[in-house]
């Protein structure tokens, strides 16, 4: 009888922890994103990419099958997205900050065309705040 109770107790504990893991959900801020464009003026005829935040990219190699490092000429920020971009991998080098709803149609005007090689995308409070 004691063995049966122990087995039932272990089974209930295991099923409870599995059930709790299945109930965990990730909250996604649908307004926290960045669109990267290979060409200026947000040209959708050439490669572009939308990335959901919060996220950090120490390198832009092989993002959805394309190496985006040093290949971005225009950017659109989502309504709740902040980004710090760097001209070297691993968040090093010159830094440029982007804010919600910002549209930069020619990064060349800021000496950052084809120069972004890593970035941190945060949601809600600003580029230095911890993401939610």
The residues spanned by each domain of the chain are: 33-123
How much is the pLDDT for 22?
53
How much is the mean pLDDT over the chain? 84
What three-state secondary structure class fits 18? helix
Residue 46 has a pLDDT of 92
- Rounded mean pLDDT, 117-127: 87
Give which of 107, 101, 44 is closest to 71, Cα–Cα.
107
The pairing of strands 48-52 and 103-104 is unpaired
b/e per residue, 108-126, with b = 16+ CB within 10 A?
eeeebbebbbbbbbbbbee
Strand partners, 34: 51, 77
* pLDDT(19) > 60: no
Q: The tokens of 81 are what? A: 């997205």
Give me the percent of the chain exceeding a pLDDT of 90: 69
Which pair of structure tokens corresponds to residue 51?
A: 């990335």
CATH hierarchy code of domain 33-123? 2.60.20.10
The pLDDT of 42-67, averaged and rounded, is: 94
Q: Which range among 13-22, 24-33, 52-61 has the greatest average pLDDT?
A: 52-61
The whole-model pTM stands at 0.75
pLDDT exceeds cutoff 60 at 129: no
């Amino acid at each position: 009888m004691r063995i049966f109770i122990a087995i039932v107790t272990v089974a209930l504990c295991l099923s409870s922890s599995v059930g709790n893991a299945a109930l965990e959900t990730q909250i996604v801020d649908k307004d926290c994103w960045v669109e990267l464009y290979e060409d200026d003026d947000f040209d959708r005829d050439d490669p572009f990419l939308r990335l959901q935040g919060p996220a950090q990219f120490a390198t832009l190699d092989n993002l959805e099958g394309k190496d985006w490092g040093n290949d971005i000429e225009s950017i659109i920020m989502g309504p709740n997205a902040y980004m710090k971009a760097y001209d070297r991998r691993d968040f090093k080098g010159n830094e440029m900050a982007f804010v919600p709803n910002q549209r930069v149609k020619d990064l060349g005007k800021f000496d950052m065309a084809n120069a972004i090689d890593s970035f941190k995308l945060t949601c809600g409070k600003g580029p230095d705040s911890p993401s939610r």
